[in-house]
Amino acid sequence: MTETLTFLLSGTLLAGTPLLIAALGELVTEKSGILNLSVEGMMAVGAIFAFMVVTGGGSYWVALAAGGMAALVVAALFAVVVIFTLANQVAAGLAVGILGLGLAGLIGDPFEAQTVPPMPKLPIPGLAGLPVLGRGLFDHVPVVYLAPVLALATWLMLTRTRLGLLLRSAGENPDAANSIGINVRFVRFCATLYGGFCAGVAGGFISVVSATLWADGIIAGRGWIVVALVVFGTWRAGRIAIGAYLFGLATLSGLLVQTTGVAIPSQLLTSIPYIVTIVAIALLSMNPKLTWLNAPVSLGQPYLPTK
């Protein structure tokens, strides 16, 4: 029983961390008014670059940063297309996402099905010795502890700082922002690059920290979950964090229930996380105050500054 609980806690953190990191990046991007649907592709690019760095003998931190930078380059391509040439954000996002997936597969071909050693864990002194909770929550790689900190920092940045105000104004009412001298396109460009960086770090986390292997298609749809999580969390960092860990927990519970041999079809169990996501989004959307209070008004709309 304690083993089960430990597994649920530690597994939830491990599965939720990359989702949370990427979703917080996407949140910042969307708050600035840009809908980036290429998260899946950016995560794949981040995953292969991080993997190459670790395979080449680099440290895990350098690897995650490299994954982030590689995905940032992909995001830059998307940003130029949608911000400066005013392309449709949905179409461009899908195209760049598919490009990223293909690029990752191409670059990763020589590394297919290779593995790397796991990242060393950093047990938190004192807390890691607790029964159940210790090994479940406080015996992880450092990145796992940093993800909730990033959520808190993102919330503070968006709601309590001038930078957050700049971002939000670009996403709410770019005309008004422009009229008081904010360079809307520059703000949106930076926010998109930041979102790409986060997606790359998240992808790198999957390939070098949690899975410790590279295989084409390793992201397996998690990039889409990230996009859904931002809506699920109604554009609020705290709710997104809850959503990311809930999704991890729901996936693991489905697997765990199967090990007990309960006669529920496995197909139903594996679809539970997705059903939960759909139902939650539907319920949240029934209350417009919850959703549209935080949704950026100009999300997805191209902006051409007036002189």
Partner 1 sequence: MKRTVLATLAALGLSTAAIAQDLTVGYIYPAPVADVGWAKQLDLGREAVEAAYGDRVASVVVDSVPEGPDAARVMNQMVSDGAKFLMLGSFGYMNDGIKLGRKHPDIAMIHASGFKQTDNFGTFTARNYEGFYLAGMAAGMKTQSNVIGLVGAFPIPELVAEVNAITLAAQSVNPDVQVKIVWINTWFDPPKAQEAARALVSQGADVLFSLHQDTPSVVTVAENEGVWVVNTGSDMREYAPTKLLVSVTNDWTDYFVREVV
Residue numbers at the binding site for partner 1 (CB under 8 A): 3-4, 6-7, 11, 15, 105, 109, 112-115, 118, 206, 210-213, 215-218, 220-222, 251-252, 255-256, 258-261, 266-267, 270
Q: Which is nearer to partner 1, 267 or 306 (CB)?
A: 267
Q: Work out how close the CB of 285 gets to partner 1 at its nearest, in angstroms, rounded to a whole number.
A: 28
Q: What is the bridge-based pairing of β-strands 114-115 and 213-214?
A: antiparallel
Q: Work out how close the CB of 217 gets to partner 1 at its nearest, in angstroms, rounded to a whole number.
A: 6
Q: Work out how close the CB of 105 gets to partner 1 at its nearest, in angstroms, rounded to a whole number.
A: 7
Cα separation of 64 and 69, whole Å?
A: 9
Q: Work out how close the CB of 75 gets to partner 1 at its nearest, in angstroms, rounded to a whole number.
A: 23
Residue 119: count other Cβ atoms within 10 Å of its Cβ: 22
Q: Which is nearer to partner 1, 210 or 234 (CB)?
A: 210
Cα separation of 283 and 157, whole Å?
A: 28
Q: Which is nearer to partner 1, 253 or 291 (CB)?
A: 253
Q: Which is nearer to partner 1, 123 or 238 (CB)?
A: 123
Q: Work out how close the CB of 1 gets to partner 1 at its nearest, in angstroms, rounded to a whole number.
A: 10
**Which long-range contacts does 250-257 make (Cβ < 8 Å, 24+ apart)?**
250/276, 251/15, 252/7, 252/8, 252/11, 252/12, 252/15, 253/8, 256/4, 256/7, 256/8
Q: Which is nearer to partner 1, 15 or 201 (CB)?
A: 15
Q: Which is nearer to partner 1, 185 or 222 (CB)?
A: 222
Q: Work out how close the CB of 216 gets to partner 1 at its nearest, in angstroms, rounded to a whole number.
A: 5
Q: Work out how close the CB of 146 gets to partner 1 at its nearest, in angstroms, rounded to a whole number.
A: 19
Dihedral sign of CA atoms 49, 54, 60, 62 in order: negative
Are the C-beta atoms of residues 71 and 203 closer than 8 Å to each other?
A: yes
Q: Which is nearer to partner 1, 72 or 218 (CB)?
A: 218
